[in-house]
Amino acid sequence: MTIPDWQQKAAAKQAEAAAKIPKEWRVAASILQGIDDEQGVLAIPQRCGILTPKELEITETVDATALRDKLAARELTAVEVTTAFCKRAAIAQQITSCLTETMFPQALARAKELDDYLQKTGKPMGPLHGLPISLKETFNVQGVHSSLGLVSFLDRPEANQNSALVEILLAAGAVLYVKTNVPQTMMTADSENNVFGRVLNPHRRNLTAGGSSGGEGALIALRGSLLGIGTDIAGSIRIPALCCGTFGFKPSVGRVPYAGQASAARPGMTGIAPVAGPLCHSARDAELLLRVVMEAPVDDLDDNALGFPWIEPAPLTAPALTIGVLPEDPQVPWHPNMQRTVKTAVERLAAAGHHIVDLSGQIQCINEASDISFQFFRIDPEQTQVKHVSSSGEPFIKSLRYTYNLEGNDPEPTLGDLFNLNVARANVAAIMRRVYVASRLDVIIGPGNQSCAGPHDTYGIPVYTVLANLVDYPACVIPFGKANEAADAEYVRDVAYNPPYCPKEVENAPCHVQLIGRRLKDERLMQHAKIVESVLASKSA
């Protein structure tokens, strides 16, 4: 039987990637074979015997900010830290398929340069000195491939220059060591492709890790990275964050440089602009990254970057926030786990003295906003992203059906359709603005999805995240609680849950809340996120 050409190419790439993991960093076959997909793999880095006690301590530092401080204080060397995270990322890859490209030798060489610089000058190279940062596959790193998990891209040469954000991170002293896995076309919430495989959720491998920055979500949950960079056009930072139990922040368009990334989309694509932003373990880590980036000369590297620096928000005039509660869309009812989670979060915030505003009846456009957004995503009459898949002969992944008509028999969009979409988007933006202004809201709280992470290929359309993309509002996800069938039982309703509610399949999966701020007021949202994070983390709240 002849093996199709696309399979041969994919197999060759897989073998190349596997060979880059040193033998001594490979997880024992007995451990891999003993994994129960429904129990998760979060403990494997501790028990596989690959990491030394000090490497475990380094990788389990509370967050990237604390690790950065230890590096600056010379409590740890960049080589020690980079070695630890390279090894832990290699472990994460073997149990979740979260990586695409590894740059271990280059990262260790970079770390030595940073140590030498600190030793010679007595000063760190920059505000991220020695900090390992993981990157989504889309970011170009000179000398490294950016195939995006597409077979048709495997023959493309290595990147000949860095993405704008990569330049900024290197100038700030960061160490770049891995790129992370994505879905085919990057336009689904299930990170699977025929080259690098499916990203598995480390909490329960029967669940999705989210997408399109799913590799980042899984890697950070396993502490193979403390700070990573994803991208977001419909929720692609926040979805992996909520699925994998991490913090994720989607900035406003133009605040973080996006230029120089690899893309499967048609050049000149209009509609909703993608953004880059952090996935991490705390709000302060996201602030660390965004401060560094926004203080850099971003508009010297990206023609579409706005080029104004981090603006320190004024202290709050009142200790209490005014928080609006995003209403449920009746067509996309919240699952019991998220209904309980949002209710508990709101009760804690109210108990802490914050003013809660019920927005029921005021935002009735959530599902409509999703429909508008996905019409924008399908506006390319050539279906360029779909053609990149079919041109190699590789099959479409199952979840791609949520985004595209893969039969290709939709009527061709017209220029009139584009005008109508712009009008519809403006109407939604006006609704959101009026809601904020009328109730003098600081922030809106709600779910990033109607459920926690669900079984593979069931995530569907990201109704509750794409709203913020459509109106270009910054938004973030904060992990909070877990799915618990017993506690969630009282919230079960006689409604049509989509996807179906499967309590046993999602037991103990991370839950979350999403915060949505006002356009270009990213710093203010970060200020509010730190307050909410603190309240939700408080045992006495």
494-495-497-498 Cα dihedral, nearest 10 degrees:
160
Residue 324 pairs in a beta bridge with: 357, 444
| Residue 517 counted as an annotated binding residue | no
For residue 54, the SS3 value is: helix
Cβ(196)–Cβ(97) under 8 Å? yes
DSSP classification of residue 394: P
Three-point CA angle 164, 170, 174, nearest 5°: 130
Cβ(293)–Cβ(168) under 8 Å? yes
One of 146, 191, 212, 282 is an active-site residue; which one?
212
| Residue 254 counted as an annotated binding residue | no
Known catalytic membership, residue 136 = yes
Q: For the CA atoms of the chain, what is the radius of gyration?
A: 22
The two tokens of residue 52 are 């030394």
| Residue 1 counted as an annotated binding residue | no
DSSP classification of residue 472: T
How many angstroms separate the CA atoms of 151 and 217, rounded? 23
The structure tokens 């590789």 sit at 394
The alpha carbon dihedral of 182, 188, 194, 200 has a sign of positive
| Residue 211 counted as an annotated binding residue | no
| Residue 233 counted as an annotated binding residue | yes
How many angstroms separate the CA atoms of 238 and 347, rounded? 23
Cβ(179)–Cβ(99) under 8 Å? yes
| Residue 235 counted as an annotated binding residue | yes
Known catalytic membership, residue 163 = no
How many angstroms separate the CA atoms of 327 and 323, rounded? 12
How many angstroms separate the CA atoms of 324 and 429, rounded? 16
The two tokens of residue 387 are 């053609």
One of 163, 191, 213, 236 is an active-site residue; which one?
236
Closest residue by Cα to residue 266 from 400, 411, 385, 401: 385
Strands in 510-516's sheet, in edge-to-edge order, are 99-102, 175-180, 132-136, 227-232, 275-280, 247-250, 475-482, 510-516, 443-446, 322-325, 355-358
One of 13, 87, 136, 250 is an active-site residue; which one?
136
Helix (H) or strand (E) holding 104: helix 104-121
Closest residue by Cα to residue 243 from 534, 537, 526, 451: 451
Closest residue by Cα to residue 45 from 221, 168, 182: 221
Residue ranges for the binding site for substrate?
Answer: 186, 212, 233-236
Where in the sequence numbering do the catalytic residues fall? 136, 212, 236
